[in-house]
Amino acid sequence: MSALIGKPAPQFVAESTIGTIDLSQCRGRAVVLYFYPKDNTPGCTTEGQDFRDLHDQFLAASTVVVGVSRDSLKSHANFCEKFSLPFPLISDPDETLCNLYGVIKQKNMYGKQVRGIERSTFLIDAHGLLVQAWRGLKVPGHASEVLQAAISIG
């Protein structure tokens, strides 16, 4: 995916907690597309809360935040409600978006190999170009780093 930096972001239309999201309809605003493994797990909850806590600043930077995981829309709706997440979450149970952005990886879970989402974030500019990608990232400080990147392209 790093080879795609500076090129048009992979387009998609997907179902989310606020209805259908069509990436092409987000033109004119930057988009933070963050992929996370699972609702209601410690790291994913912290990551969602961090993006939530900075949400007003993302909006001020004319940036839309969207989360993606393989969880169901029902699970996402509960996750959003439980933690007051003000941005949409896309349900990708068939891994269409995950494969489009190349975030499915073999991971080691308690000594077993499992396929899962590698925590990743993509920053797409107002023209639809992929400007930055973070892969295999650590949650602490990540949302702030993405916010600074979003402000810098504004």
Q: Give CA–CA dist 8/119, Å, rounded.
A: 21
Active site residues: 44
Element (DSSP H or E) covering residue 43: helix 42-53
Question: Token pair for residue 138?
Answer: 């650590």
Place of tokens 């259908």: 20
For residue 71, count CB atoms less than 10 angstroms from its CB and return exposed for 0-12, middle for 13-18, buried for 19 or more: buried
